[in-house]
Amino acid sequence: MSKDIIISLNGQEGSGKSTIATMLAEKLNIPRFYMGQIFRDMAAEKGMTLPEFRKVCDQDPSIDRKVDDYVTALPEKNSSFVIESRTAWHFIPQSIKIYLQVDSKIAAERIFKNLSEKNNRGNEDATLDCVENIEQSILKRRAEDSERYFSFYGIRQDEVSNYDLVVNTTNLTIQEVFEKIVEFIYANEKSS
């Protein structure tokens, strides 16, 4: 890349966000920031599962504000980076805003496979023990996240009109998703 670039990446659970964010950071040789890990770390510090911690966050906006301040300050410290976050598109409006969608059943299958392979449930919800339970959890979380961000900021983080590029990953390989996004980024660089 010939210029500074900030990419904000959001999407539904199981859409490939983390994999794509990692691939983009490597391809463009820029740092990657993952806000989901910050929330997981905060939950672990409090000895809570992620769902328990999310309930606390629903009642206490100061937790989100702390993360928001971190996100807002990133462009002052880094001229180029990829950020995986539900709200970075809102707090870093100059970023290239990308949103990944996926069918909830396919997402549940992907997440179950990933959890089974890694055998790494960490502080995740213990009920995520089959595809059906994971799909129910995904749909519940989508609704809760949508309401939470709307009540805190008046935004709908899942509204596709907020993004420069929306990719439905349901029937695509991770490589196909990656290629679409890289093509868009390079086209965007040429036109600016």
- DSSP sequence for the chain: --S--EEEEEE-TTSSHHHHHHHHHHHHT--EEEHHHHHHHHHHHTT--HHHHHHHHHH-HHHHHHHHHHHHHHHHH-SSEEEE-SSHHHH-TTSEEEEEE--HHHHHHHHHHHHHHHT--TTS-TT--SHHHHHHHHHHHHHHHHHHHHHHHS--TT-GGG-SEEEE-TTS-HHHHHHHHHHHHHHHHHH-
What are the structural domains, with CATH classification, of the chain? 6-191 (3.40.50.300)
CA dihedral sign of residues 173, 17, 78, 156: positive
Minimum mean pLDDT range among 53-57, 68-72, 83-87: 53-57
- Can you give the pLDDT at residue 181? 97
Question: pLDDT tier at 19 (50, 70, 90 boundaries)?
Answer: very high
Two structure tokens written together for 92:
């870093």
Confidence (pLDDT) at 127 = 63
What does the pLDDT look like over 149-171, one tens digit per residue? Answer: 898 889 998 899 999 999 999 99
Residue 126 pLDDT: 57
Q: Is pLDDT at 67 greater than 80 in this prediction? A: yes
110: pLDDT strictly greater than 50: yes
Judged against a pLDDT cut of 60, whether residue 122 lies above it is answered with no
Q: What is the rounded CA–CA span in Å between residue 188 and residue 9?
A: 15
Q: pLDDT per residue over 21-58, tens digit each?
A: 999 999 999 999 998 888 888 888 889 887 788 888 87
Q: Which residue has the higher pLDDT, 79 or 191?
A: 79
Percent of the chain with pLDDT strictly greater than 70: 92
Give the global pTM: 0.87
Residue 87 has pLDDT above 80, yes or no: yes
Give the residue-averaged pLDDT of 177-189: 93
